[in-house]
Every structure is written in structure tokens, then in C-alpha cells.
Structure 1
Amino acid sequence: MNGDEQLLMGRVYGCDHDDPNPGPLPARTYAMLVGGPLDGLLLDVTGWTAEEIGGGVALSTELSRWPGGRALYDPGAGASPPLGPGVACRFYYSGDTP
């Protein structure tokens, strides 16, 4: 694991790098991002419907194949084992888009 990957582990997507509390917050629900440039980050999905979660996400990142592009993540098939407090599911990397 390189330095960039270590910085991302356990952080919430969208938190600033210098945020004093970049980790998950109580009473929030998260999806764990697996693979790709955002591997290990948590995505806040509090209040999302099952349909919204099922649609996956395209997340802006400078770490994708195209800087300033989006990393695509889709939900995994079937149920995920529990991943820790507040983590309800996993989204798996499926590619990048400009």
C-alpha cells in the first residue's frame, strides 16, 4: 500500500484532506468503496433508497485514469457481510470516465 492509499483508508469521500475528523460519524450510513482509485474510502449513503444504491455512483476524483474525471462504482451482487459500525454495503470499482 502506498502513501496515497494509506491516507484514504477509513476516510469519508468528500472530506477535506486536512479535516480533523475525516472518519465516519455516528448515526450515518456508509458504503465501502472497493478497488480503483478510491479503494478504502467510505461513501455517505444516509437516506438513500434501495433504488439509488442499486444504481451505483460516479465519483469525481483527481486519482482516476482521467484527472478530474469520475471513478465508477457499482453495488455488489447479493448481501455483504457486516463491515463495521455504520457500513451497510460495498460498492465495487467498475472503471473510469472523463
Structure 2
Amino acid sequence: MTYAARVYGSDETDTGPEPGHTYRELVGGPLDGQLLDVTGWSEAMLVGGAFLMAPLSAYGPGGRASYTPDRADGPFVWDGDIP
């Protein structure tokens, strides 16, 4: 059986990536393996990366994980956790 990658912010009942959306894989850290929906993000937003809520971060619930792009169309790689 093949499983679709989990989309960040979705719950376990969601079916996975939606057709017509653009995603970046999150690599490393507490959100490793999830997909981030970047549909509609500007180039500046993509270059800036994302600070994402991560309950399993070093700071616990309410902590965030910092992810930045590896390359223009590549995955977002974990930089570390922030409060």
C-alpha cells in the first residue's frame, strides 16, 4: 500500500496533496517528511522560507521550526527551532 505524504497543518483524515497545488517537502527537524502548501506564495516568500508551529520542537507546544529553501524549486530544510 502506498501512502501520500502528510500536508503540514492537515489532520490524519485528510487524503494528502491536492491536485493543482504546489508543495515543498520539509526536510529534517520535527516536521521532516511533511509537505508545505506554497500555492500562491510569491518568489520573495519562497526565498524567505517559513517559521512553522511544531508541537514537537525543542520548545514544546507553541514552539516553531525554521525552514529555508535548499534551492529555488527544492525542499525546505530545517534550520533549527525557535520559541
State the TM-score, normalizing by the size of structure 1. Answer: 0.75
Match of 1:26 among 10, 19, 26: 19
Match of 1:14 among 9, 12, 15: 9
Extract unaligned runs of 5+ from structure 2. Answer: none
Q: CA RMSD in A?
A: 1.5
Contact 1:36 1:93 in 2 (8 A): yes
Residue in 2 that maps onto 1:3? none
Question: Identity percentage over the alignment?
Answer: 52
SS in 2 for 1:27: coil
Q: CA deviation at 1:90?
A: 0.6
SS in 2 for 1:53: helix
Contact 1:73 1:94 in 2 (8 A): yes
Contact 1:60 1:70 in 2 (8 A): yes
Q: Distance in 1 between matches of 2:82 and 2:40?
A: 26
SS in 2 for 1:54: helix
Q: Distance in 2 between matches of 1:27 and 1:64?
A: 30
Q: Distance in 1 between matches of 2:14 and 2:39?
A: 21
Q: Distance in 1 between matches of 2:14 and 2:5?
A: 13
Extract unaligned runs of 5+ from structure 1. Answer: 1-8, 80-87
Matches within 5 A, 1:1-98: 10-17=5-12, 19-21=13-15, 23-67=16-60, 68-77=62-71, 88-98=73-83
Q: How many residues align?
A: 79
Deviating above 3 A after TM superposition, structure 1's stretches of 4 or more consecutive aligned residues are none
